[in-house]
Structure 1
């Protein structure tokens, strides 16, 4: 790779890193006034989507690669941002963040600042999925573009469906305190998380055969690790198991992430309703 291209890539990554750090600093300032950290979630999705657009515009790679990155990243980011905004705006603070405040006490303000900056770093690492194809002068083949588009469509469509099913379930007061175990949620305790991980795999398909394409394996693995081991399942399921009757049984019979037939009959799950 020519030195000029390397300098351009470094500059693009540096600008994206600074923009993300500043954006999450602003969101941190807003939560100081509201004492509610909910907006970190839509800000995260919006920030990554904006990085995709920026990388596609500023990138020096093949035009076809950059178009795919721009459309894929922007459309994914827009849908998720709107969904998270509707879910979080003017709602009580997510129990995860409230628990952090309680546990940290006087150090909460400082620790939340670094938590927000950690989100910026995570967003930057995920954006590797955009940096690699957008900086490659070698265009992805038509087959890889179509393959990436297929994975993207299944992932984003599946995540949107899972989000809608959950939103409808929660909105029905008759389901208060119950466990959602129908639709996609019959086969996975967190189908939205599964499809989120799958989304990042689309850029791996796009980057097959491209220079440094192996790096695009990192985002889906990072997302899966974060959701399974850090901020997703551990915190959420500990709370649900303690507050919802039947959730512990649901955990024993239903796959945590990858959709898979439950180990019990559907009628056994329906008894929770």
Structure 2
């Protein structure tokens, strides 16, 4: 794969993400529910990533690895997108985006559009990692391809388990007003985010090899996802919301529980 092939594919994938997130803005403006933004983003990354995986380079038909990566991307997107869609149907608005809109005031529609375009461009390294993994030079599937499958399914299974544990906790009337600290949530304040990050390690596992000069680009996906989840739109706004709604209970939970990586609870904290 030449640099021209790579740049042409990257430009097409970037434009597709931009258009899809423009559509997400239209949906958000018409429904007033910004929860659909994350749903559309997840399906958009999945659709564009799968299309990039089977993108024909040099006129060749997609090989086994390209189809493998496309299927992995689709499974990830359908699982996460379906979960986020179910959550969005049950809310009037996403508290994180609602807070942004409150801060932006009358400029909220315009600023939301550009904010969603930033999410589109932020998705470029993610779909690029999928593209690079799918187009690794080796013709046959290798051990690391199967390891990539294992990593992705570990992330999906862990995230699904964390989501199920949180849902069960919230649905029990006894737990109203309490902080979920059972199961995986005892070891991490955000195990769903952690296992989502694990999913993105699958593509470097598949892509990194001495014969793939583009493989290093796949590292951008887990690095970017870690930054987004831990420092931008993941943990910070969610924890601000939890502190407002749970107060000292959540502060105590913060003191004894790791923010991201699953670790044993701090025995010194109450």
Q: How has the CA–CA distance of structure 1 residues 201 and 59 changed in structure 2, closer, same or farther, with 3 Å as cutoff?
A: farther
* 1:101 counterpart residue number: 101
RMSD over aligned Cα atoms: 1.9
Checking the alignment, whether the CA contact within 8 Å between 1:227 and 1:233 is kept in structure 2 is: yes
CA distance in 1, matches of 2:217, 2:9: 17
Q: Which moved more, 1:37-46 or 1:55-64?
A: 55-64
CA distance in 1, matches of 2:124, 2:251: 35
Q: Deviations over 1:226-248 (max 9, x none)?
A: 11111111111112122114110
TM-score by length of 2: 0.92
Structure 1 counterpart of 2:218, from 212, 216, 219: 216
Runs of at least 4 residues of structure 1 off by over 4 A? none
Checking the alignment, whether the CA contact within 8 Å between 1:9 and 1:59 is kept in structure 2 is: no
TM-score by length of 1: 0.91
Matched, 1:50 2:47: yes
- Secondary structure of the corresponding residue to residue 92 of structure 1: coil
Checking the alignment, whether the CA contact within 8 Å between 1:140 and 1:207 is kept in structure 2 is: no
CA distance in 2, matches of 1:254, 1:140: 44
Note the C-alpha offset of 1:140. 6.7
CA distance in 1, matches of 2:241, 2:55: 43
Note the C-alpha offset of 1:136. 3.1
* 2:117 counterpart residue number: 117
Note the C-alpha offset of 1:75. 0.3
CA distance in 2, matches of 1:140, 1:233: 40
- Secondary structure of the corresponding residue to residue 58 of structure 1: coil
Q: Which moved more, 1:105-114 or 1:117-126?
A: 117-126
Structure 1 counterpart of 2:251, from 234, 248, 272: 248
Aligned residues: 264
Note the C-alpha offset of 1:170. 1.7
What are the equivalent positions in structure 2 for 1:1-273 lying under 5 Å apart? 1=1, 5-60=2-57, 63-139=63-139, 142-209=142-209, 210-244=212-246, 245-264=248-267
CA distance in 2, matches of 1:120, 1:85: 19
